[in-house]
Amino acid sequence: MQDAQIIKTRDLEFQLFEVLEAETLTQRARHADHSRETFNAALETAHAVAVEKFAPHNRLSDEHEPQFDGQRVSIPHEVKDALDALRATGFLAAGKDYELGGMQLPAVISFACLSLFKSANIATSSYAMLTSANANVIERFGSETQKRKYLGALLEGRAFGTMALTEPQAGSSLSDLTTSATPNAHGTYSLRGNKIFISGGDHELSENIVHLVLARIPGGPPGVKGISLFTVPKFRVNDDGSLGARNDVALAGLIHKMGWRGTTSTMLSFGEHGECIGELVGEPHHGLAYMFHMMNEARIGVGLGAVMLGYRGYLASLDYARERPQGRHPTNKNPLDPQLPLIEHADVRRMLLAQKAYVEGAYALCLYAARLVDEQNTGESDAARAEAALLLDLLTPIVKSWPSQWCLEANSLAIQIHGGYGYTREYPVEQFYRDNRLNMIHEGTHGIQALDLLGRKVTMKQGAALKLFSRELQRTIDAAREQEPLKLHADALAAAWRDVTSTLEALLPTLASDAELALANANAFLEAFGHVVLAWTWLRQALVAHAALPRANGAADQDFYRGKLHACQWFFRCELPRVAAMLAPLRTLDDTTLSMSPQWF
Amino acid sequence: MQDAQIIKTRDLEFQLFEVLEAETLTQRARHADHSRETFNAALETAHAVAVEKFAPHNRLSDEHEPQFDGQRVSIPHEVKDALDALRATGFLAAGKDYELGGMQLPAVISFACLSLFKSANIATSSYAMLTSANANVIERFGSETQKRKYLGALLEGRAFGTMALTEPQAGSSLSDLTTSATPNAHGTYSLRGNKIFISGGDHELSENIVHLVLARIPGGPPGVKGISLFTVPKFRVNDDGSLGARNDVALAGLIHKMGWRGTTSTMLSFGEHGECIGELVGEPHHGLAYMFHMMNEARIGVGLGAVMLGYRGYLASLDYARERPQGRHPTNKNPLDPQLPLIEHADVRRMLLAQKAYVEGAYALCLYAARLVDEQNTGESDAARAEAALLLDLLTPIVKSWPSQWCLEANSLAIQIHGGYGYTREYPVEQFYRDNRLNMIHEGTHGIQALDLLGRKVTMKQGAALKLFSRELQRTIDAAREQEPLKLHADALAAAWRDVTSTLEALLPTLASDAELALANANAFLEAFGHVVLAWTWLRQALVAHAALPRANGAADQDFYRGKLHACQWFFRCELPRVAAMLAPLRTLDDTTLSMSPQWF
């Protein structure tokens, strides 16, 4: 019953080549060797590996989660087989320089490839995603020695990476980290402390594991200003690249989760039983900034993972709704008529449309964010690169949080369409729902994204990022106003954006004078802004679909474009009207949460 | 780490004795032997058994779900121990006549007792709930012989009951049931067919199992008009009450679910290998009406179960938020200050307030529904009894659906407050979330409740039920307008209700002329009406709390009433404003779902 349909390829093609015009990137020097054909070849390879090696064990590794016998972690061999296949494709270095063994693919194509692995098997693909993120940090901030020892191994997948931030007593409060790193002779450091929720923290899927660890050098400033970043390998690496002695990074225990069970989640202790040697990355006390460099891409990755779980559920429930006969129209009381497929029921179509609107809208957003990474890296002027970086900074909290919330809701609808069957483990949708629930938590909770957005991003550089987004939004609105069937949507989006910006303007003085009160409803702002951003991604898609429809290539293509226009309409009619209510507590500076005394609960 | 706090007892007392004035029921003849003290004694006994026998194995029976070795179903013995303890209390017959061994407790007290078992362990309590529902049908519609053979055994818990409706090929479409019941000599019937998702369908927790089975007598009319109801025991029962031969009800397999794992969910085959004897309940072809009698109470039970899962999560996350230090206020950048408990953060308080508003509001609704059952049974005039029945009929879709949706959302917030820990199986909240996801599906899906409400309930008897609800709502609004701090809420509720009723009035002609179109957005109506009903339950609670506050008995009581007023405020400021957007597709007769062609997905 497992459905291995991991993507609607026509949609992927639409997003990449019609909406985001990824082919134009081949005009840039870095990607000059590439073409639509090489992009497609990469996508096809990723698709094949994802379908053949990642998807088949998605349920298996949920049912057989990693086991720790006190000595080693055992994981079903299918996980290693899949990662071996991934290694062989070279995707771990997809965007890297040729000289590093990379393919110099644009970020938008790399992320699209990654999305296929995520869709096929979110847990197994996590090892790859963490490894890429880790390699990015070492490439950007590591010393030549660190690069020589670790970068090649990570990009080839001989070593896998982790991000070791969280500690049991500190959770989201990185300011309260206590792991220490004491300087040794020879420039290395001895680490000591405990980390929790470290994904991929121990396993035998790769020869080595490179942990990127946040820790304090004694004598440094308190709080986040005294945090440094270290590379801490599981096995020390000799100068010739060969593996040396075991470093004292010990697995203190595995964590058993509701979902996402295929990824080892660990408690690690550093230097508790012996010598745990690490090397400083970059300057002392700048660790958080380096880690955030990694985290920003990780946050796009989380958003994309949430989308793909939603997408899988959508496709599975669409298949089910087409095939399962069930009931008749409410006005037909004749039991002798044959039952209709579920998809004939308006409420089932509502649940399919909602899923389509959530997942395809959020997919458009994540790929747009990846496209911004390309602009940031290879944009045609300093100004263009700076603008892209700014816009990406503003949108990252939405890219991370919106799919985590709404593509989870999509997974719930996919269960609902399956009825009782959807609640059973014989069908795949309940697993997607369990897996997806993590995404609102890791890489910065929803609450933290909300504070980041309202407390920092919208006001940074005198609101420059917000103005930039406003300009982009306006361009879309202006273009849509030229197209009769999209005019009403354009007006609705303009009105919703006015609501958001006027609410924000009224809030600005309070943000300055009483941040506690202004930020009390930060979550409402995150949700309202997010809905506007998603409406915008839909209007962008609708513009392309509307222009393409008259010259569509056959009935299937016409259906595809009509579906895009219809899903856009659904979002504008059923979701965008929610923005006003979302903004209500912000407009009134509502203090209900602040004034609720803890004793009153 | 398992938190066994199953209820805020002060809230239970408030709901029963301050809001619903349950003590006044002792003035009625049927409950004349009762008093506040006997009610409390029943509640305390239920609470003790729930905490001591039901709560401790809630995680255990999730981790060790029922196993079928081809011969018998094995279940952890703690489940049977708990049900034995429940049997010993007599709660299976709590509301029944003394002569049946019952306690003649009012429904509102019985449901309150039941809520404690549900909160402690939803899966184990299901066996009891199904048995009570089953006994109700036999008491009401069964023959004297059926009562003699089954009723006593069910009420004493020697036999447990099931509801065997669903078939693999029919799902929600009862019209398409095919199980047959062929008349035999001696007035019995031979059953043949397959059922699926039958909770409690096989086990050894009781001596016998009495299935209530929907089946067709050959030659009857097609569709729902040809469905009859049968008692089908696992072991045939001799005239002297002793157990006879095994009936051919065979376990075809267990179903493995995302949650609610402690309850056996089964596929059953009837008469496939031998003789499966059943007895007709009531008249031929009236089975669905009888079953609906049982289903209506079962739907209150489902709503109540959803509430209690939400309630458990709320209490667990409240404890966690009070005890877990984490971070500082956003304006405090001094890392040397100690960390604050989570509850000091506005966004955490938002998530607690939302949970409180959802679960206590929905608890008020479910207990109100139970109070209507009392009015329906023992109301002081025919008119009062008829009104209560009508109102209950109207509200049942909300009682079933609203908690299923919003108390699940509460469970999600409880996970979120726990952060990464909430996603692990070391804490209880992830299980509540998994368990609760079933409630939108069983006993009539959300979509079916929506069609029932908009397609039937609001227009039945020329809208009499709706008028009745309107009158009750207006009474609350009028009373709240007299109290200065509640005036704004009263106005907001009146406005929201005008929105709902004017939308409905505009929809009525289309309901008559083009039901397909009018019902296409039935789900939106269910949600909007539900939010108004919940706002009403909050305003009712606020009125009582506001009146009680000046004469509150000490600081704890004052805190309690202030908490009620504050949660009401939160619901009115943050939830009620959503109604307008929910109504949007109804007001515009939006046909987006209907006009979406299946090929466009």
Please state the φ and ψ torsions of residue B250, each to the nearest 5 degrees: -110, 140
Which of A593, A594, A595, A599 has the highest number of chain B CBs within 10 A, making it the mutation to test binding with B? Answer: A593
Distances, alpha carbon B45 to alpha carbons B52, B77, B88, in Å? 11, 22, 11
pLDDT in the model for residue B331: 84
B348 CB neighbours in chain A (<8 A) are: 447
Letter string b/e over residues A297-306, b meaning 16 or more CB atoms within 10 A of that residue's CB: bbbbbbbbbb
Report residue B2's pLDDT band, with 50, 70 and 90 as the boundaries.
very low
pLDDT, tens digit (0-9, with 9 covering 90-100), for B332-377? 889 999 999 999 999 999 999 999 999 999 999 999 999 999 999 9
CB contact under 8 A, B434 and A438: no
In chain B, the percentage of residues whose pLDDT exceeds 70 is 99
B499 CB neighbours in chain A (<8 A) are: none
pLDDT, tens digit (0-9, with 9 covering 90-100), for A43-60? 999 999 999 999 999 999
Which of A369, A368, A554, A522 shows the shortest CA–CA distance to A457?
A522
Which bin fits B21, alpha (ψ -120 to 50), beta or left (φ > 0)?
A: left
A429 CB neighbours in chain B (<8 A) are: none
pLDDT surpassing 60 at residue B169? yes
Catalytic residue selected from A443, A472, A482, A516: A443
pLDDT in the model for residue B415: 98
CA of A440 vs chain B CAs: smallest distance (Å): 8
pLDDT, tens digit (0-9, with 9 covering 90-100), for B423-433? 999 999 999 99
CA of B231 vs chain A CAs: smallest distance (Å): 24
| Segment (H or E) for A318 | helix A287-323
pLDDT, tens digit (0-9, with 9 covering 90-100), for B260-272? 999 999 999 999 9
Cβ neighbors of B242 (< 8 A, separation 6 or more) are none
Report residue A170's pLDDT band, with 50, 70 and 90 as the boundaries.
confident
3-state secondary structure A450-513: HHHHHHHHCCHHHHHHHHHHHHHHHHHHHHHHCCHHHHHHHHHHHHHHHHHHHHHHHHHHHHHH
pLDDT, tens digit (0-9, with 9 covering 90-100), for B381-416? 999 999 999 999 999 999 999 999 999 999 999 999
pLDDT in the model for residue A111: 97
CB contact under 8 A, B425 and A256: yes
Which of A340, A326, A371, A305 shows the shortest CA–CA distance to A109?
A371
A7 CB neighbours in chain B (<8 A) are: none
Which of A229, A238, A237, A236 shows the shortest CA–CA distance to A275?
A236
pLDDT surpassing 50 at residue A3? no
Report residue A4's pLDDT band, with 50, 70 and 90 as the boundaries.
low
- Distance, in Å, from the CA atom of A186 to the CA atom of A181, rounded to the nearest integer, reads 14
pLDDT surpassing 80 at residue B39? yes
Cβ pairs A/B, distance under 8 A: 285
What number is the average pLDDT over the span A342-356? 97
pLDDT surpassing 90 at residue B298? no
- Between the two ends of chain B, the Cα-to-Cα distance in Å is 45
What number is the average pLDDT over the span A466-472? 98
Report residue A242's pLDDT band, with 50, 70 and 90 as the boundaries.
very high
| Segment (H or E) for A180 | strand A180-183
pLDDT, tens digit (0-9, with 9 covering 90-100), for B40-69? 999 999 999 999 999 999 999 999 999 999
Mean pLDDT of chain A: 96
Which of A353, A433, A588 faces B593 most closely, judged by CB atoms?
Answer: A353
Which of B224, B258, B261, B590 has the highest number of chain A CBs within 10 A, making it the mutation to test binding with A? Answer: B258
pLDDT in the model for residue B4: 65
Report residue A472's pLDDT band, with 50, 70 and 90 as the boundaries.
very high
pLDDT, tens digit (0-9, with 9 covering 90-100), for A473-483? 999 999 999 99
Mean pLDDT of chain B: 96
For chain B, helix (H) and strand (E) counts, in that order, are 20, 12
Chain Cα centroid distance, residue B336: 49
- Distance, in Å, from the CA atom of A371 to the CA atom of A21, rounded to the nearest integer, reads 9
Under 8 Å between Cβ of A389 and A440? no
Residue A323 known to be catalytic? no
Please state the φ and ψ torsions of residue A441, each to the nearest 5 degrees: -105, -55
Q: Per mean pLDDT, which range of A1-5, A220-224, B181-185, B523-527 is the poorest? A: A1-5
pLDDT surpassing 80 at residue A309? yes
- Tokens 């809420």 — which residue? B489
- Distance, in Å, from the CA atom of B233 to the CA atom of B242, rounded to the nearest integer, reads 12
CB contact under 8 A, A416 and B347: no
| β pairing state of B73-74 and B67-68 | antiparallel
pLDDT in the model for residue B436: 98
Residue with the bigger pLDDT between A550 and B293: it is A550
CA of A418 vs chain B CAs: smallest distance (Å): 9
pLDDT, tens digit (0-9, with 9 covering 90-100), for B509-563? 999 999 999 999 999 999 999 999 999 999 999 999 999 999 999 999 999 999 9
Letter string b/e over residues B158-196, b meaning 16 or more CB atoms within 10 A of that residue's CB: bbbbbbbbbbeebbbbbbbbebbbeeeeeebbbbbbbbb
pLDDT in the model for residue B1: 39
3-state secondary structure (DSSP) of residue B30: helix
Strand-pairing partners, residue B38, are: none
Under 8 Å between Cβ of B531 and B579? yes
CB contact under 8 A, A328 and B175: yes
- Distance, in Å, from the CA atom of A105 to the CA atom of A89, rounded to the nearest integer, reads 13
The tokens describing A67, both together, are 């086991």
pLDDT in the model for residue B293: 80
The tokens describing B500, both together, are 């709902």
Query: What one-letter code names the amino acid at B295?
Result: M
- Distance, in Å, from the CA atom of B464 to the CA atom of B33, rounded to the nearest integer, reads 35
pLDDT, tens digit (0-9, with 9 covering 90-100), for B9-18? 999 999 999 9
A356 CB neighbours in chain B (<8 A) are: 601
Catalytic residue selected from B65, B297, B360, B443: B443
A333 CB neighbours in chain B (<8 A) are: 223
Q: Closest chain B residue to A352 measured between Cα atoms?
A: B601
Q: Closest chain A residue to B260 measured between Cα atoms?
A: A423
pLDDT in the model for residue A216: 98
Q: Centre a 10 Å sphere on the Cβ of residue B405 and count the other Cβ atoms it contains.
A: 19
Under 8 Å between Cβ of A115 and A312? no
The tokens describing A251, both together, are 């697995």
What number is the average pLDDT over the span A572-593? 96
Cβ neighbors of B135 (< 8 A, separation 6 or more) are B92, B93, B96, B150, B151, B154, B155, B161
Strand-pairing partners, residue A183, are: A189
Which of B121, B50, B537, B47 shows the shortest CA–CA distance to B39?
B47
pLDDT surpassing 60 at residue A164? yes
Report residue B3's pLDDT band, with 50, 70 and 90 as the boundaries.
very low
What number is the average pLDDT over the span B317-331? 93
Which of B257, B356, B524 faces A424 most closely, judged by CB atoms?
Answer: B257
CA of B551 vs chain A CAs: smallest distance (Å): 17
CA of B26 vs chain A CAs: smallest distance (Å): 31
